[in-house]
Amino acid sequence: MNPEINPARTRRNPRRADAMEWNPEQRGALRDREPGAMEAFFEAFFDPLYQYVWRMVGHVQQAEDLTQDVFMQIHRALDRYDPARALKPWVYTIATNRVRDHWRSRAAHQGSREEALEDDSGRDRFGDDRPGPARELDGKEMGSAVRAAVESLPESLRTTFVLRFHEGLGFAEIAELVDRNEAAVRKRYSRAMEELRRSLAHLDPTGAGFVLGEEA
């Protein structure tokens, strides 16, 4: 491993979202691998990317391994990066593709996967373990319920939801990332919110708005 590439070293403090908004000069320095540029990149991007991958796969060790893979892929791809292009969508495209490869590999080993990559059915896949309406949940249980609801989404809806709701990407950025038009991305996000509110209705009769907010 390149001595500058040590993602574990950078997982220290949460980073503000604007730390990932690099100007053209910074992006050019990164592409050219100028001294300090790679370190600054990992400092700014490791925690957000790890959180994104973890939300997508739902497993700590897998998220750590995949995040390190993502950074290795980014390092190898820098020669092909155009500094005129925004850095954040480019980075998240690589991360999303790595997560998709992970799902494809897991599906190949497990046989048919209910959550197929192109499945947009939005079926409810909670089974019989969902808490009943009368059960009160503490914060930890509620967090688990929300994570389970997100993980139950089809891949295309989950990716759109996580990129928008958690990562704060704009619809135009997500459209570029997933190679769809902006209208299609907005529709996917709306469907994801509808599915999550339906899945989490047992937590809040008003539609789980207190969990997900009211953005559409």
Q: Is 125's pLDDT higher than 80?
A: no
pLDDT for the residue 212: 59
Q: What domains does the chain contain, in order, with CATH numbers?
A: 7-109 (1.10.1740.10), 135-204 (1.10.10.10)
Q: Is 72's pLDDT higher than 60?
A: yes
pLDDT for the residue 151: 86
- The Cα 169–Cα 174 span in angstroms is 6
Q: Kindly report whether the global pTM for this prediction surpasses the value 0.85.
A: no
What share of the chain in percent tops pLDDT 70?
68
- The Cα 120–Cα 152 span in angstroms is 11
